[in-house]
Chains A and B, each alone.
Chain A
């Protein structure tokens, strides 16, 4: 049976009712991967044997009457930058080609403990730097809705695999929109939890103060189920928050009456493509019809978000990526004769152009003499951006708007000009700067059949409100169907 078309909660139900074994489900997904990968190219590695072994272990536990975990038998795939003992952890970069991590990321450990079956790893922009997955050193991933379009990025593989039913859900990481933007472009649900909700231990760092792991799922309930497993304090991550983790599925069906939905005036401008705007507005109107109260809010400093982001994230990246030097692991240029050559040639040969660009930018903004003008100023603006949200959340419970200014774009369309590419994240970036939770869910298809994403932003640690509003939108607007894959 074609289990691959099901959501995680449907699979959990099927396993618990003994309608399906974990092995049957895994086989169904592995078959699906085989069938559609030539068309999508989302996976960098498929762990066929280990997936079937994990599934068999789940079945054995169930057969013994044991609790096999809240995600027993659910096939999951991981973004290439999550450390796993299984397979390689390359961050889609030449510099880590063949690298095997000696440990599992905390998020991966949690999935394993919950009984999830790990299918493999997914393509991404190199070191999560990009918005189209075109910066991968491994391969191009295609949007399941249109093979000539990008899947978004940087978690493009994570979004495409979910949209193409190649896994029940996936993990991505979001530094400036890298979960939400590809989720929007591929028509799935993507959540960036509050900074500190999910341990970053084992997530290869791009920008430490912005990075957050989150799930990409087929629907909102699956998102809640995944968060139940992923969230929680980790003593290995000093920035992980020690706050209670609710059962995120419990509030999904909450009432919309009295929920105040904020619409930032700065998000609904001429820059927004007509079809995206129409779908977002229609969804918001539907919420109003269900009793939600719409209010215009202002985020006056959001115009500085992109500039601020590209200073903070490049500064942190310049230090985070310094360790890839050819000394202990990863690529060392075979012709380097001196220590300095080893550094320069290994990095020049190992990193792609976008990564090199950001390392240079970050090194520049941290230079003595420029620090105050760039990094320090950016941190000050970051505080102002956060204050904008604090003020807005005094008046509203959730902020709604578009996830991406446009639907999926074509390959090569934005690669010539990095700045154009950077603007793909114009609506998603401030959420990371302000350390808020953000969610994207599909809210319609354009005339040419491309998904449109609605973004919801919430108060810190109030993922429940986002899920509740998102779940209502999903009910009101219905699904967007499946992409036209053979």
Chain B
């Protein structure tokens, strides 16, 4: 039987405010255990939460970027359950009136656009972190993470494949990054994605039994886990079995999902409105202020890059993958570099250098104006593109300008025909056999002779001129 997968995503992202959502403690990630804590986030007796305004600002910004309706009036609620990582034994969250509702995100898979419904995005506090490796048969709780602001973004069950899940998460990450709302670091846990997966016969209207995949530590892992889970559902159903509603984990080493927790019944969290916090009223003026402050979002920037700079869809997508990359590209173009060349250098050699040194483009030692300067030297024939590669490497390592490097190392291209001819004649004289081969019709030998000239000039020969002069000399009887 042919099946269709139905997938909904729940994504938790830590919002990168400087202080926690209900107290003034730092949200820094790698502080020693229990150092970014105070009576409020430790749930000491008598303390009260105070909502971080920046959290509301960033949530509204994300909501607007996801085409959500922003609730004029919303509130926080208490979600009650007992666990040692939850200081108050209730989590302050949003239940029936989330700040952002009914949005959508358009994703692209294989050139087609699909609209994914966003059910809601709501604010809550992160929990502490339990560790069971402190020895002595004891468990430890690190409250540094307790009270870090979290945004939970929930989709409609609109996704149909693992590729769509990957595209959705990538786009979502991009948007969050453009908004400077989250670091989206899946390894550090600042982005946690859970997938609800079910399958049904193609054409069926009702939903199949779902399983929930949790605790996957990478974007590719989520995609693979979803892929695996879809195949597992289909296999089980085809074999006449039934799917059990449960939470499943992902074993990345073995590449399979495994049962973690059977859902006995829906958990009763005894939700009720948080009496310690006033309702959140985001009026039109507030929403408008945030709307006006939104940066150009990835989709818009992508299509503008194609239109304005004449880039291919593919190049535009790569260059807009992160806001920093797109800013870098535009700054380079603004310094006068040819956009297509700038794009090639950034996506090619520069990206390779960054990857090699595990560096983010925001920390790139070659500033956009320096890159533009290097490209200008190629444009005006001072250096060849080949030399440019070396020069860029040197710039990256030393932070010097292209011109300084070219001058210091005497890398200026030989564009003087007479000077070049002298070298060429020498090469012809030293390689009579190859010259004879060429003249008798073996034109492939030309590459060897060019290489010899390049070697003799330490690569500084102007390639076009070299070609012209060499051919002219070879044709001479």
Contacts and interface: CB of A to CB of B under 8 A. Distances in A.
A328 B82 contact: no
A322 B275 contact: no
Interface residues of B, number: 29
B272 A366 contact: yes
Given A238-B277, A316-B275, A339-B84, A322 B90 contact: yes
B293 to A, nearest CB: 25
Of B44, B88, B268, the most chain A CB neighbours within 10 A belong to B44
B276 to A, nearest CB: 5
B80 interface: yes
Contact of A103 (B39, B87, B278): B39
A376 to B, nearest CB: 9
Interface in B434-464: none
A328 B89 CA distance: 12
B128 to A, nearest CB: 10
Contact of A319 (B46, B49, B270): B270
16 contacts: A82-B46, A101-B45, A103-B39, A201-B48, A205-B46, A209-B275, A238-B50, A319-B90, A319-B272, A323-B88, A325-B82, A325-B84, A327-B141, A328-B43, A343-B82, A368-B268
B276 A208 contact: yes
Contacts of A103: 39, 44
Interface in A211-269: 235-239
B42 interface: yes
Contact of A239 (B80, B89, B276): B276
Specify which of A81, A105, A203, A368 lies most central, judged by the most chain B CB atoms within 10 Å of its CB: A368
Interface in A158-200: 200
B47 A322 contact: no
Interface residues of A, number: 44
Interface in A323-348: 323-325, 327-329, 339, 343
Nearest to B143: A328
Interface string B260-274: 000000101011100
A204 interface: yes
Contact of A367 (B46, B270, B275): B270
B42 A328 contact: yes
A310 interface: no
A319 B84 CA distance: 15
A101 B84 CA distance: 20
B276 A319 contact: no
Given A103-B39, A315-B272, A366-B272, A322 B80 contact: yes
A466 interface: no
Query: Which 10 pairs from chain A and chain B are nearest by CB?
Result: A322-B89, A208-B275, A366-B270, A209-B275, A83-B46, A204-B45, A202-B46, A204-B46, A323-B43, A323-B88
A102 B44 contact: yes
A375 B80 CA distance: 15
A367 B45 contact: no
A235 B50 contact: yes
A16 interface: no
A239 B272 CA distance: 17
Interface in B66-104: 78, 80, 82, 84, 87-90
Contacts of B266: 368
A132 interface: no
Contacts of B46: 81-83, 89, 101, 105, 201-205
Nearest to B83: A339
A238 B276 contact: yes
B51 interface: yes
B51 A101 contact: no
Contact of A236 (B50, B84, B272): B50
A365 to B, nearest CB: 9
Contact of B45 (A83, A318, A343): A83
B43 to A, nearest CB: 5
Contacts of A343: 82
A236 B270 CA distance: 26
Contacts of A74: none
A143 to B, nearest CB: 28
Nearest to A199: B48
A72 interface: no
Interface in B28-74: 39, 42-51
Contacts of B39: 101-103
A367 B78 CA distance: 13
Given A322-B82, A366-B272, A91 B44 contact: no
Given A205-B46, A322-B82, A366-B271, 6 more contacts: A82-B46, A91-B45, A204-B45, A322-B90, A323-B88, A328-B42
A45 interface: no
Given A319-B90, A322-B90, A200 B48 contact: yes
Interface of B: 39, 42-51, 78, 80, 82, 84, 87-90, 141, 266, 268, 270-272, 275-278
A361 to B, nearest CB: 12
Contacts of A83: 45-46
Contacts, number: 99
Contact of A328 (B87, B271, B272, B276): B87
A105 B44 CA distance: 12
B42 A325 contact: no
- In this complex, which of A103, A319, A343 has the most chain B Cβ atoms within 10 angstroms of its Cβ? A319
Interface string A74-118: 000000011100000101000010010111010000000000000
Contacts of A318: 80, 270
Contacts of B89: 319, 322-323, 325
A363 interface: yes
Contacts of B88: 319, 322-323
Contacts of A208: 275-276
Contacts of B43: 323, 328
A378 to B, nearest CB: 11
Contacts of A329: 44
B251 to A, nearest CB: 26
A201 B40 CA distance: 10
A323 B45 contact: yes
Nearest to A328: B42
B80 A366 contact: yes
A327 B130 CA distance: 12
Contacts of B48: 200-201, 236-239
Given A323-B43, A366-B272, A367-B268, A238 B49 contact: yes
Contacts of B277: 238-239
A201 B48 CA distance: 6
Contacts of B49: 238
Interface string A355-372: 000000001001110010
B318 to A, nearest CB: 46
B356 to A, nearest CB: 46
Contacts of A209: 275
Contacts of B84: 325, 327, 339
B82 to A, nearest CB: 6
B80 A319 contact: yes
Contacts of A327: 84, 141
A328 B47 CA distance: 15
Contacts of A325: 82, 84, 89
Interface in A368-396: 368, 371, 375
Nearest to A364: B270
A319 B39 CA distance: 18
A237 B44 CA distance: 15
Interface string A2-14: 0000000000000
B45 A96 contact: yes
Contacts of A235: 50
A336 to B, nearest CB: 13
A310 to B, nearest CB: 15
Contacts of B141: 327-328
Contacts of B47: 201-202
A202 B277 CA distance: 16
A89 B47 CA distance: 13
A401 B434 CA distance: 120
A322 B43 CA distance: 10
